[in-house]
Amino acid sequence: MQVFTDGGSRNNPGNAGIGFVLMTPEGVIIDQMGKYIGIATNNEAEYQALLTALQHIKNFHSSCKELTIYSDSELMVKQLLRVYKIKEPHLRKFAEVIWELLDTIADWQIKHVLRDKNQLADQLVNEALDKQLCK
């Protein structure tokens, strides 16, 4: 299984949204979601997007044994791979929950991708923000 995640904030911190797309290895979309999460920073939104995707996988696709995660947040990817330290305590809390969820998946990897390879997740973020802010 593959999951593409994205989070974004307008005015960092500001109104924030998350998005994820869950696909088969062949690229068939299984699930997708975009959601407004309130006021957050870009980094908080990136972590929340991945956490939400992993919780969704746990709740609805618990048989998932192989997962490749794609994110355009190089910082988050390198922090979760323990290449970079996580200095902010609130981001460390996100990471700890994410690591616990990843421990339940036999074979997982996380990869940084450029924004153009993450367009659908980005689109879901922006649609969630636009919908909330146009109320």
Please provide the CATH number assigned to the domain covering 2-133. 3.30.420.10
Q: What percent of the chain has a predicted confidence (pLDDT) above 90?
A: 93
Q: What percent of the chain has a predicted confidence (pLDDT) above 70?
A: 99
pLDDT in tens, 56-100: 999 999 899 999 999 999 999 999 999 999 999 999 999 999 999
pLDDT of amino acid 55: 97
Average confidence score pLDDT of the chain: 95
Residue 133 tokens read as: 């802010």
pTM: 0.95
CB burial readout 33-65, b (16+ within 10 A) else e: bbbbbeebbbbbbbbbbbbbbbebbeeeeeebe
pLDDT of amino acid 135: 65
Instruction: Identify the weakest region by mean pLDDT among 50-64, 96-110, 121-135.
Output: 121-135
Q: What is the largest CA-CA distance in the chain?
A: 43
- Say if CB 54 and CB 98 are below 8 A apart: yes
pLDDT of amino acid 91: 96
pLDDT in tens, 12-52: 899 999 999 999 999 999 999 999 999 999 999 999 999 99
